[in-house]
Amino acid sequence: MAEQMSDDDERQQSPPSDLDFTSNKARTCIVTGSVSGHSEFQSLYPDQVLENVLENVLHFLTSRRDRNSASLVCKSWYRVEALTRSELFIGNCYAVSPARATARFTRVRALHLKGRPRFADFNLMPPDWGAHFNPWVLAFAKACPWLEKVYLKRMSVTDDDLATLAESFLGFKELVLVCCDGFGTSGLAIFVSKCRQLKVLDLIESEVSDDETDWISCFPEGESHLESLIFDCVECPINFEALERLVARSPSLKKLRLNRYVSIGQLYRLMVQAPQLTHLGTGSFSPSEVAGQGDQEPDYVTAFAACKSLVCLSGFREIIPDYLPAIYPICASLTSLNFSYANITAEQLKPIISNCHKLQVFWVLDSICDEGLQAVAATCKELRELRVFPVDAREDSDGPVSEVGFQAISEGCRKLQSILYFCQRMTNAAVIAMSRNCPDLVVFRLCIMGRHRPDHVTGEPMDDGFGAIVMNCKKLTRLAVSGLLTDKAFDYIGRYGKLVRTLSVAFAGDSDMALKYVLEGCPQLQKLEIRDSPFGDAALCSGLHHYYNMRFLWMSSCRLTHQGCQQIARAMPRLVVEVIRSADEEEVYDRVQTLYMYRSLEGPRNDAPKFVTIL
Amino acid sequence: MVTDKMVDYPQFLNLMNKEWLVNHKVSEDKKLELRLGPPGEALDDNRNTTHGTKRAFQHTAETRTGEKEWPIDTTKNQCQKISCIEKIGDKVNLPPTPWSSGSTIYSAFSKDTKEEPQHSKASFFQNLPVSKKLAGMAEDFKQPCSPRMAVGEVQFADGKACCSLATADPDASTNITSNKRIEYSPVVGWPPIRSFRKNIASNSLSKPASSNDKDTGGKPENPKTQLFVKINMEGIPIGRKVNLSAYNSYEELSLAIDDLFSGLLAAQRDPSATQNESKAKESAKAEAGPLAGSGEYTLIYEDDEGDRVLVGDVPWNMFVSTAKRLHVLKSSELSTLQICSNEKEKAPFDPAVHI
């Protein structure tokens, strides 16, 4: 699932990417040997040529980290790099202001912005905290009208922002909204109607209000340039006939992900129109109530067989498993399969998965049980990413998957790079086994759903399992821990997790030492999110040397006090230290409910709601 | 037991103390005494104290021969561990279990061992039931908490307190599992699953059986916890959704709707939204204050027969089960709408229904 890739999946080193303190580092670029000592660049002809050469060369530099490094060489390189940067990535929208960004990078074609911290997805923060797209779209509309692509994650976008996007950027081509909110179908309607060059509209895990506007009908008539239309998260009915006509006139359409209001009969009609699809989200994968009135069922198998380029399959939002055999023809070519909404059993999965030899990405529900996971392990030797979600996401439910399936996966899928696994029971032994069997692991996220749950066979904490992961998986950059964990686990992480960039901690640790180990031991740490763990002000202070290297630190329901946070704020002027209360709470307690702090060039933001105090 | 498998991974075992493993095995057969108390308290004190939010759990092992092992940990933490214990005057030979050491270290780093006010969660700690089996295994088990214990092994609930309470669940052996589970009240945002991934079980189960009305906008498939209905306010193009099952009375619902739309109205009035010239803004300006109190707006709903009914006419439960859409209309507009009170409309269709 390309859209789910975070920058942790890129294996690159990471100097600060959203801040540049270049004023201290600019040096004179010595060109002909005659201008040393001058800070101004002389406009001599040979220098002009050099700058042109530089510009042409730097155009080829695509990695943002390489570009950040290049910009630090000297003022000339800084300037040329800024002119040639076409993709601007800002990992925290509050780290830099739109004005500053547009002033430096004037020829940006693509903007990638991230807003809220991830824990906001789990209701750990009141809504309306911030991360508004509005000031960005307005600034870019004025300064960079040639912007073509916008990629937003966890930001608030209004209908008006969508209108601005469509109206101010004439060649606008791609909009991707991941985990965003604040807009509705009316905003979409305006957007699609005015964006004549639109190629990509991807709405992923976003909340879209139903204003009962038929936005699908608002796509302009005539041949469309659409290459990707993803709206599986839109929770309202759509005008199917309009969609069918749209698909019919979109010859370049490669990615289509339908929402659950599209029945399987309707899916058939669309597939017949678009056999060139590479990515398909099947919608509900069940018949509507109206169908089946003695009508002959369409030949779904043939429809799937006709899609010879199909490599990525998802959807199955309200699956009737009887229809699963329809996808048999394409199983052998699938590289990505998302069954994470399909409540199917192991028996229902086996005939499918036994043909998916090329599968690299697999998302599934734990309804398939350990037995289903064993079937996956038996066939999917190319598996790179596995995510197992719980059907019943409660702490005390019976878990259908356990260390048995986990270990089977580790033994069968040796090339595994990324795993997210929800379970109720786990053992250190299985985790250790995975650390040995899957040395390529980059992302390891294990969620034992019961809080403080130990190894269920030995009763010991899960320290050793996670310790083995950081020790043996030398490429690990992202780690999420769970279960009963003592300070020892964090000792291991600090000692061996030298490449870890993102760490998620919940209900773990015994004392400040745990946090100290991590802050002192992990030089690459950029994103640290902690909840309900006994870390206090002293632990917080132990990271002072590192906070400017981090994108953010989140600590909620820990043991921080206002004084402690105040100390940090005073010691580090370029850090914005936000103390967040729950929306109805008055500011009386000394204990800090939530701390969210991040480096920023701009100082305290001016759009903070009243439940946020910036120290 | 985990140790067999661990022996297969010698690389990792170098990190752990093999002898510790052996001793751990040995210890399971010994009877162990559990005591609780914050560091600094005399161990003879068997009172339950829950002051402070951190506790150190210590135990005395009855038979332990010449055990000096510690986990391989050459940092100064180890010395601190030892010295802490010595300070307390404990003659106990603590097995080098990782978490027991952790719990005594914090005094060096946190300032709050003694002055911390009693955490609200500490009282929760006291209320946990103790299974009989647990009580039987530990002689001196005073505090009504639940250390994790597996059959024949000793576990120590760790010293963390603010959120943490000894958990439930050592599923080690088959017969003890259900006894040991201790009910937690659910915590916000845990497990970390986004809301659109929840309720999958109910969605898929109800699908083949019933004929769902998807187009009503509500989600009748999952009546227990979620009953979202669309709500539109007159003059605001963006509708919202409210979860009727989250409220218990008309007053609560009314307040919630108030909150929902006042935020929206305020945002529309916001001058920084320069592009907003819809008439929604104008109507929002006309709105005086909270919706509920002003009487300027009226709440109506559409029931499952498509009729528009004034909210408040029927008992709350009946309203929840029949309401499919909600509308917030200006009171001045009511006369032009076809609104019927429930009694008049229902009678011709179903005279048998008692309202």
Tokens representing B203 are 């969605």
Per-residue pLDDT of A135-146, as tens digits, reads 999 999 999 999
**Which amino acid, one-letter code, is at B328?**
V
The pLDDT, as a whole number, for residue B110 is: 36
Distance from CA of B65 to the nearest CA of A (A): 22
Say yes or no: A239 contacts chain B, CB-CB below 8 A. no
Kind and range of the H or E element at A338?
strand A336-339
What is the count of structural domains for chain B?
Answer: 1
Tokens representing A573 are 């002027």
Which is nearest to A462 in space by CA: B2, B29, B80, B57? B2
Chain B residues in contact with A583 (beta carbon < 8 A): none
Chain B residues in contact with A471 (beta carbon < 8 A): 11-12, 15
Q: What is the DSSP letter of A536?
A: B
Say yes or no: A343 contacts chain B, CB-CB below 8 A. yes
Distance from CA of A454 to the nearest CA of B (A): 7
Q: Is residue B235 part of a domain?
A: yes
Residue of B nearest to A496 (CA): B15
Domain residues for B331?
Answer: 224-266+294-342
The pLDDT, as a whole number, for residue B88 is: 40
pLDDT of A286 over the 80 cut: yes
Q: Is residue B214 part of a domain?
A: no
Chain A residues in contact with B163 (beta carbon < 8 A): 451, 507, 532-534, 557
What is the rounded CA–CA span in Å between residue A263 and residue B207? 12
Per-residue pLDDT of B276-285, as tens digits, reads 444 444 444 4
pLDDT of A542 over the 60 cut: yes
Q: Whats the size of chain A, residue-wise?
A: 615
The closest CB to that of A429, out of B5, B230, B276, belongs to B5
The closest CB to that of B163, out of A179, A237, A532, belongs to A532
The pLDDT, as a whole number, for residue B183 is: 52
Residue A398 confidence class, pLDDT cut points 50, 70, 90: confident
What is the rounded CA–CA span in Å between residue B350 and residue B355? 11
The pLDDT, as a whole number, for residue B83 is: 41
Q: Is residue B250 part of a domain?
A: yes
Q: Do A454 and B149 touch (CB under 8 A)?
A: no
Say yes or no: A512 contacts chain B, CB-CB below 8 A. yes
Reported ipTM: 0.84
**Which amino acid, one-letter code, is at A195?**
C
Residue of B nearest to A515 (CA): B109
- Per the CB < 8 A criterion, the answer to whether A429 and A403 are in contact is yes
- Per the CB < 8 A criterion, the answer to whether B221 and B202 are in contact is yes
Q: Do A461 and B159 touch (CB under 8 A)?
A: no
Mutate to test the interface with B, among A366, A513, A555, A581 (most CBs of B within 10 A): A513
Average of per-residue pLDDT values in chain B: 52
Chain B residues in contact with A392 (beta carbon < 8 A): 201
Q: Is residue B234 part of a domain?
A: yes
Mutate to test the interface with B, among A154, A236, A402, A559 (most CBs of B within 10 A): A559
Q: Do A510 and B187 touch (CB under 8 A)?
A: no
Q: B58 forms bridges with which residues in the sheet? A: B35
Q: Is residue B201 part of a domain?
A: no
Q: Do A454 and B102 touch (CB under 8 A)?
A: no
Distance from CA of B354 to the nearest CA of A (A): 31
Q: What is the DSSP letter of A478?
A: E
The pLDDT, as a whole number, for residue B63 is: 39
Residue A489 confidence class, pLDDT cut points 50, 70, 90: very high
The pLDDT, as a whole number, for residue A51 is: 81
What is the rounded CA–CA span in Å between residue A376 and residue A409? 7
Strand B32-37 to A208-209 pairing: unpaired
- Give backbone dihedrals phi and psi of B128, rounded to 5 degrees, phi first: -70, 135
DSSP string, A87-148: EEEESSTTTS-HHHHHHH--S--EEEEE-S-GGGGGT-S-S----BSHHHHHHHHHH-TT--
Q: What is the mean pLDDT of residues A534-560?
A: 95
The pLDDT, as a whole number, for residue A293 is: 52
Per-residue pLDDT of A164-214, as tens digits, reads 999 999 999 999 999 999 999 999 999 999 999 999 999 999 999 999 999
Average of per-residue pLDDT values in chain A: 90
Per-residue pLDDT of A324-374, as tens digits, reads 999 999 999 999 999 999 999 999 999 999 999 999 999 999 999 999 999
- Per the CB < 8 A criterion, the answer to whether A176 and A198 are in contact is no
The closest CB to that of A458, out of B16, B150, B159, belongs to B150
Say yes or no: A394 contacts chain B, CB-CB below 8 A. yes
The SS3 of residue B221 is coil
Which carries the bigger pLDDT value, residue A510 or residue B300?
A510
Chain B residues in contact with A432 (beta carbon < 8 A): 5-6, 9, 12
The CATH number of the domain holding residue B253 is: 3.10.20.90
What is the rounded CA–CA span in Å between residue A596 and residue A565? 10
What is the rounded CA–CA span in Å between residue A253 and residue A224? 9
Say yes or no: A487 contacts chain B, CB-CB below 8 A. yes
Residue of B nearest to A165 (CA): B275
DSSP E strand boundaries for A283-324:
312-314
Per-residue pLDDT of B251-274, as tens digits, reads 888 888 887 777 666 655 554 444
Going by C-beta distance under 8 Å and a sequence separation of 6 or more, which residues neighbour residue A438? A410, A413, A414, A415, A416, A419, A473
The pLDDT, as a whole number, for residue B309 is: 84
The pLDDT, as a whole number, for residue A7 is: 44
pLDDT of A408 over the 90 cut: yes
pLDDT of B158 over the 80 cut: no
What is the rounded CA–CA span in Å between residue B292 and residue B328? 11
The closest CB to that of B168, out of A394, A450, A472, belongs to A450
Q: What is the mean pLDDT of residues B44-58?
A: 40
Q: Do B2 and A491 touch (CB under 8 A)?
A: no
Q: Is residue B140 part of a domain?
A: no
Q: What is the mean pLDDT of residues A478-507?
A: 97
Q: Do A209 and B99 touch (CB under 8 A)?
A: no
- Per the CB < 8 A criterion, the answer to whether A76 and A41 are in contact is yes
Q: Is residue B252 part of a domain?
A: yes
Q: Is residue B10 part of a domain?
A: no
Q: Do A123 and B163 touch (CB under 8 A)?
A: no
Distance from CA of A396 to the nearest CA of B (A): 8
Chain A residues in contact with B110 (beta carbon < 8 A): 511-512, 536-539, 559
Mutate to test the interface with A, among B120, B187, B200, B213 (most CBs of A within 10 A): B200
Q: What is the DSSP letter of B71?
A: -
Among A450-454, A561-565, B89-93, B193-197, the range scoring the smallest mean pLDDT is B89-93
On the question of a cis peptide bond just before residue A390, with omega within 30 degrees of 0, the verdict is no
Residue of A nearest to B276 (CA): A160
Going by C-beta distance under 8 Å and a sequence separation of 6 or more, which residues neighbour residue A45? none
- Give backbone dihedrals phi and psi of B73, rounded to 5 degrees, phi first: -155, 95
Among B176-185, B213-222, B279-288, the range scoring the smallest mean pLDDT is B213-222
What is the rounded CA–CA span in Å between residue B58 and residue B43? 9
The pLDDT, as a whole number, for residue A135 is: 97
Q: What is the mean pLDDT of residues A296-303?
A: 90
pLDDT of A567 over the 80 cut: yes
Q: Do B98 and A158 touch (CB under 8 A)?
A: no
Distance from CA of A492 to the nearest CA of B (A): 9
Going by C-beta distance under 8 Å and a sequence separation of 6 or more, which residues neighbour residue A301? A325, A326, A328, A329
DSSP E strand boundaries for A390-442:
418-423
pLDDT of A95 over the 60 cut: yes
Q: Where are the alpha helices (DSSP H) in B90-220?
A: 98-105, 120-126, 132-137, 177-180, 200-209
